[in-house]
Amino acid sequence: MHVGLLIYGSLDTLSGGFIYDRRLVSYLRRQGDRVEVIALPWRSYGTSLLDNLDRGLRRRLNQATFDLLLQDELVHPSCFWLNRRQPRPYPLIAIVHHLRCREHRPAWQNRLYRLVEKRYLASLDGYICVSRTTQKDVEGLAGRERPRVVASPGRDGLPGGITRDRIRTRALAPGPLQIIFVGNLIPRKELHTLLAALATLPQPDWRLTVAGSPDPDPAYARAIRRQIEDRGLTSRVTLLGALPAGELAARCEASHLLAVPSSYEGFGIVYLEGMHFGLPAIAGTAGAARELVHHGHNGYLVPPGDAAALARCLQSLMEDRELLLRLALSAHHTAAAHPTWDDSAAQSRAFLRTFLA
């Protein structure tokens, strides 16, 4: 099977969506499929719309000998009209992590994104969705007539693991609650809300480690550093930047809790990776995190931007280590019951092959 994959930037980008794409590409190649990655430059949303008029891109796609072309849904502004203009020499399938129009932002902006994404989804022959929530969103915008499959991310994204005895020892040991935030420093991940919540709690009772790149939004990263300084949190918060998988795994093993209260997640790979190390997850109520994080069972769900609710969840775990242990063991069990990356990719590959008949 000869597969094209259209993305922005580099397949090596450190984010959940690119991890998913990278894992799928790796699996397809191990199965003997040929995968050709076509990378468009990262640009503003408005500038990317001009790609639809790019004759060179249109020619390249028309002349390709793919059996099918995968498109990461991120590229929708570049393809919403281009897909309709080309003569469809092969099926077009989108990998949909989440719809841009579902993110938390002013309504007038999302109305624009909704119009573009609706036209984009209508130009496709099928969809690979990373969660049931994303599938529902796609169906709500594009209808149900096109083939689709839900292939969720796998549990085995980070090396190593942890025993239940180690989880118990870690949870009950004296000392501050060790919290880890994993994600790029962008507003959607709500690190600012987490810091606002922690600022209201006794500082001797917690430590926060932040593992994520500041590069996607330098202005926001600067605002985060200012917030840490202004709130007097510099001795309690450590900004590490992006970490390689082995070091991130070690940091997760040494932590008690993962807190990424995003305003929206199409799935939330990071929650599953944390649960693999017995970390209860604090996530946002919007999006697909609720498919994995069950409030009061293996973590907590808080409304976007609600620092007070987040602080109450954090305080309960600081004060009750038996509660922390119960949630940690449940989180570990949740991850253990989840499919692997190869299971997910095999499901996607089987779906793709239905378009070859």
**DSSP per-residue codes, 9-57:** S-TT--SHHHHHHHHHHHHHHHTT-EEEEEEEPP--HHHHGGGGG-HHH
Which CATH code fits 2-153+340-353? 3.40.50.2000
Q: Do the beta carbons of residue 6 and residue 72 sit within 8 Å?
A: yes
Which helix (H) or strand (E) segment is 309 a member of?
helix 307-319
DSSP label at residue 88: -
- Side-chain-side CA neighbours of 194 within 13 Å: the count stands at 32
Residue that has been written with the tokens 């499919």 in this structure = 339
CB 114 within 8 A of CB 101: yes
Cβ neighbours for 271, distance < 8 A, ≥ 6 positions apart: 258, 260, 265, 281, 283, 289, 292, 293, 299
Instruction: Please tell me whether residue 355 adopts helix, strand or coil conformation.
Output: coil
pLDDT computed for residue 160 by the predictor: 93
Q: How far apart are CA 65 and CA 2, in angstroms?
A: 8
Contact 263, 103 (CB under 8 A): yes
List average pLDDT for each run of 10 residues in the chain, which is 357 residues long: 96 85 97 97 94 92 94 96 85 96 89 95 96 95 92 93 96 97 96 98 95 96 98 97 95 98 94 97 96 97 97 97 98 96 97 92
Cβ-Cβ contacts under 8 Å for 243 (sequence gap 6 or more): 211, 251
Task: Give domain limits for the chain.
Answer: 2-153+340-353, 164-336
- How is residue 35 written in tokens? 């995968």
Q: Is residue 289 within 8 Å of residue 283, measured between CB atoms?
A: yes
Strand partners, 92: 69
Query: Edge to edge, what strands does the sheet with 148-150 contain?
Result: 34-40, 2-8, 68-72, 92-96, 126-129, 148-150
Backbone angles phi, psi at 148, to 5 degrees: -155, 160
**HEC string for 65-86:** CCCEEEEEHHHHHHHCCHHHHC
| Element of type H or E holding 315 | helix 307-319
Cα dist from 286 to 140, 260, 320, 336, 344, whole Å = 16, 12, 27, 24, 23
CA angle 85, 91, 94 (to 5 degrees): 90
Q: What's the CATH number of domain 164-336, 3.40.50.2000, 3.30.2420.10, 2.40.50.140, 3.40.50.1820? A: 3.40.50.2000
Give yes or no on whether 2-153+340-353 and 164-336 have one common fold.
yes
What tokens were used for 238? 């450590």
Contact assessment for residue 177 and residue 205, using Cβ atoms and an 8 Å cutoff: yes
Q: Are 149 and 129 in contact (CB under 8 A)?
A: yes
